[in-house]
Amino acid sequence: MSGKKSGILLPIFSLPSKYSIGSLGKSAYKFVDFLKECGQSYWQVLPLNPTIFGDSPYQSPSAFAGNHYFIDIDMLVKDGLLDKDYAEGFAKESERIDYGYLFESRLFLLKKAFERFDINKKDYIEFKEQNKFWLDDYALFMSIKEYNNNSEWSEWADDEKYRKNIPALCRKYVGSMEFWHFAQYEFYAQYAKLKKYANSKGIEIIGDMPIYVAYDSADVWSNPDNYLLDEKLSPTLVAGVPPDLFSEDGQLWGNPIYDWKKMKKDKFAWWVERLKVGYKLYDVIRIDHFRGFAGYYVVEKGEKTAKKGEWLKGVGITFFDELNKQLPDAKIIAEDLGVITPDVRRLLKKTGYPGMKVLQFAFGDKDSDYLPKNIKSSNCIVYTGTHDNMTTAQWIDEISDSEKELFKKVCKPKKGETPCESLIRVAMSTKAERVIIPMADYLEIGEEGRINAPSTTGDNWTWRLDSKYNTAKLREKIKRLSQR
């Protein structure tokens, strides 16, 4: 990672599309062209995993699978798997993503495409073989889940819950499993073409890897030994973070906790495989909640908030030493936000990974580590905000008078410059080698452009980019601000 570079954060799901959610089709290629024209080097996307209840890509039924909602319908039409008129009957123009509609209609449409698909295709057979170690479990998990009205796996019949006779289950669900194999094949095939195109234009893709997996996932169901579960396969402890600026109750994520001792014995095999698959999708991986490797917060199962919990010592540098042995060229960004203690700083230093600096966090305290003058190292990534923050336009409206004062003092807004432009300019002029700006901040949109408000349910993960975003004026503005 040499020389100063900048990029834009925009999730795949936010891309314009007539099918209610962004996809790996034409609008993704157009966004790559847009990035190139604006002089950018990175496209940061959020996790690409499938979503279930709550629609969060950070609570997925699989750490390996791709989101089948992102499969481009027009490409399936082009491949002869769907008739154009039939497919377009499923189009839905909507300002926000309608996950309810997608849940009802998208699988039906993909199953229609699967009816015409040749399961004897050579590259399909190769794909299944190469990804067998996660794909078969995922396909079986999703098949049983669908058969059980999408109930959590802990509620399934004992033979399914405890995986008593896998060959018999595979025979029972063989047709459905083949469909789920097909959906993953289409996702990975379409994605590989998009990534190749982005890389050919000099754009690297930054991906996101949540530290934890969802309890209701193929990962936990198929490898319960990797987690701290009781004899009924229920979590004994769950993950979260204590009360902070985002939430006075803390955040109770509810994810099961890894059995790090067991994982250490097999040289973190599951993690290594997870990262290998991650590098098929991304050039750089941002590991979410990096501080969890130094020390992690646990809450006893059954607690309603994260107020009562304790910190446990993390796996530390042992984990990253093993990763370096097995994946020596891995490019990693550490999401080192939240309660940062000396042990986290030491671990970050030992790994040598760049951490994150979020400028929206800078103005509550005149000595903040996030103030531009306190960003002393170039080995970090500067953001105005992340997918969990307000957009900068909304943030400016809502901060206190004292924060506004400090903002003016630090950013020294220039004549005719908007507050969003001031913050982006300041981000670009820090020592950081990398600057990533959320798309909503270049567009200067308010609350409607926010991607996620942590610890809330409702309208998260639904923001969509207006199809008319690509104007000469916007391209000029991005170029001007990032050429600093």
Which residues are marked as active site? 288, 335, 388
**Whole-angstrom Cα distance, residue 61 to residue 63?**
7
Angle at 108 between CA 103 and CA 109, to 5 degrees: 105
DSSP letters spanning 278-316: HHHH-SEEEETTGGGGTEEEEEETT-SSSSS-EEEE--T
Give Cβ neighbours of residue 415 (< 8 Å, ≥ 6 apart): none
**Whole-angstrom Cα distance, residue 176 to residue 166?**
15
> Taking the chain, what is the end-to-end CA distance rounded to the nearest angstrom?
18
Considering only CA atoms, which of 278, 277, 270, 312 is closest in space to residue 293?
Answer: 312
- Whether 315 contacts 264, CB under 8 Å: yes
Rounded to the nearest 10 degrees, the angle between the axes of helix 419-428 and helix 472-482 is 40
Give Cβ neighbours of residue 290 (< 8 Å, ≥ 6 apart): 211, 334, 335, 336, 344, 347, 348, 353, 355
